Amino acid sequence: MVDGVRDVADLRDTLRLLPCGKALLDAVPPGGGVHLVGGAVRDLLLGNEPRELDVAVEGDTAPLLRALGGEPRHHERFGTASVEAGGCRIDVAMTRAETYPYPGALPVVRPAGIEEDLRRRDFTVNALALDLADGRLREVPGGLDDLRAARLRVLHDASFLDDPTRLWRLARYRARLGFAIEPHTHELARVAVESGALATVSGTRIGNELRLTLQEDDPGAALVSAVELGLAPWLEVDRARIFRALQVLGDEGDRAVAVLATVVPARHVALLADLGFTAAAIKAVAAAVRLRELDLDGAPPSVAARAFDGAPPEAVASLGTPEAERWVRRDRHRRLAITGDDLLAAGIPAGPELGRRLEAARAALLDGAVGESREEQLRVALEATV
């Protein structure tokens, strides 16, 4: 290790220790030209397990795709393919160069060698390539120095104008890696934001970047970074609240939606449609806004349940309160042992009264006034004043 960065000679051996890394190395055809690129190389150098395996091939990708053995899904615009086999996903693309016809446009691509491929990337610490045939490591000038210094630097001054989504990547990498933004890069980001660069890309593309940010291991840190850079000043980010919301949610729902429900204020819910969020996600955020307006602190379980029932669990979890946790983890799953048929058989006429008696029995169950016994619940339902 050198300053927290692994010796270059270790990389292929380290990659082979990973199940998917071994599968990739075993599939590399003879002749060279197959490179592990980008964040995977960065993470290996830092001693971390890569989040994804991206491969760039100089020439025909077909031999590698066949050797990997999965059914490739092609993305024709950029000449890329994703292969999933044996629990591994590997993204394969031809090495290429990019040009941007105007700021914010999707790039126009053409085949190129690995050196040009590296120069089209976002930050120097991601402009790294490991030749999987001979272990040679390639970098853009300063790439390894910046990695050792834990520094984020763009490759050229027009980077954020060509592709403003790189601003969101800057926010995520700063939070995820704990790297500092190199001063000139920070200034370029400020100028790009203030000049309206983000407005040159579609709302859906910005929404995609926000969705990726919500899925970070520490979404609160990534969102704080985004707000500090001026990318989403409309968000109200409190890392402690996000942490608590995710604690409450546990495995009961979609973590990203719970985070979104925690940080979007009432006045900006409508913006989510322009960003391409699903109707379900928007419903959860709207429900969270409604629930935040209620005073349920210390409310009995039955009172809290009346407010929470029908709301997405992510919306309730976003409150982060003990009442929310009790409902998400337990009360929303609790069901009566009796049904309307039991009340009909006991002589209660069909109609609204039936539902009110069942509600009274469930309230008693949630508040601990009655247990799981069918007979007890039926008694409470029949004696209820409705």
pLDDT of residue 84: 86
* 194 has pLDDT over 50: yes
Buried b (16+ CB within 10 A) or exposed e, 216-236: beebbbbbbbbbebebbeebe
* 21 has pLDDT over 70: yes
**8-149 homologous superfamily:** Beta Polymerase, domain 2 (3.30.460.10)
Ordered by start, the domain boundaries in the chain are 8-149, 150-230, 234-332, 335-383
pLDDT in tens, 96-106: 998 999 988 88
pLDDT of residue 109: 87
Instruction: Tell me the pLDDT band of 75, cut-offs 50, 70 and 90.
Output: low
pLDDT in tens, 150-179: 999 999 999 999 999 999 999 999 999 999
**Residue 6 C-beta-side C-alpha neighbours within 13 Å:** 18
pLDDT of residue 125: 98
| Contact status, residue 152 vs residue 174, Cβ threshold 8 Å | yes
* 85 has pLDDT over 90: no
Averaged pLDDT for residues 99-116: 91
* 381 has pLDDT over 80: yes
* 2 has pLDDT over 50: no
Distances (CA, A) of 133 to 16, 36, 64, 168, 370: 13, 10, 12, 34, 70
Residues 6+ apart with CB under 8 A from 60: none
Averaged pLDDT for residues 116-121: 96
pLDDT of residue 248: 98
Three-class SS of residue 359? helix
Compare 199 and 1 and report the one with higher pLDDT. 199
Averaged pLDDT for residues 329-357: 95
Which ranges of 233-300 does DSSP label H, i.e. alpha helix?
239-249, 255-263, 271-274, 279-292
pLDDT in tens, 31-58: 889 999 999 999 999 999 998 899 999 9
Pick the CATH number of 150-230 from 3.40.50.460, 1.10.3720.10, 1.10.110.30, 3.40.50.970: 1.10.110.30
Residues 6+ apart with CB under 8 A from 238: 220, 262, 263
Averaged pLDDT for residues 198-210: 97
Instruction: Tell me the pLDDT band of 7, cut-offs 50, 70 and 90.
Output: low
pTM of the model: 0.90
